[in-house]
Amino acid sequence: MPLEAISHVFRLTIVVHPEFTGQGIGTALLRGLMEWAKRSPKVRKIELLVRATNQRAVHFYSKSGFFEEGRLQKRICLPDGNFIDDLAMAWLPEPPHDQP
């Protein structure tokens, strides 16, 4: 399948330095991205991966309209040798009113 078939899908990574969490930085970044995506006819889906153990981030993305699409089991290997899962989440922006 040619890459054009998934050219409407964008992958998101947001990281806020631990010293600056809880200050609304992640919210502002995500809000700006989502507003941009709503205006961009090329963006039809935004995907991200989040550690299943990061309940704060899972809640943040869920509250923002992202939904869980799947679980990648034992995707992250921690320094102690234990594994944790990644959650695949996605958001589907509404297309502009003049787009199909």
Pick the CATH number of 3-91 from 3.30.1490.20, 2.40.30.20, 3.40.50.1820, 3.40.630.30: 3.40.630.30
Other CB atoms within a 10 A radius of the CB of residue 50 amount to 22
The pLDDT, as a whole number, for residue 76 is: 97
CB contact at 8 A, 16 and 25: yes
Its pTM stands at 0.87
**Residues of the chain under the 70 pLDDT cut:** 1, 95-100
Sequence-ordered list of residues with C-beta below 8 angstroms from that of 42, at least 6 positions apart, any chain: 7, 8
Q: Which helix (H) or strand (E) holds 55?
A: helix 55-63
Q: Where are the domains of the chain?
A: 3-91
Q: Which helix (H) or strand (E) holds 36?
A: helix 25-39
The pLDDT, as a whole number, for residue 97 is: 53
The pLDDT, as a whole number, for residue 96 is: 57
CB contact at 8 A, 73 and 67: no
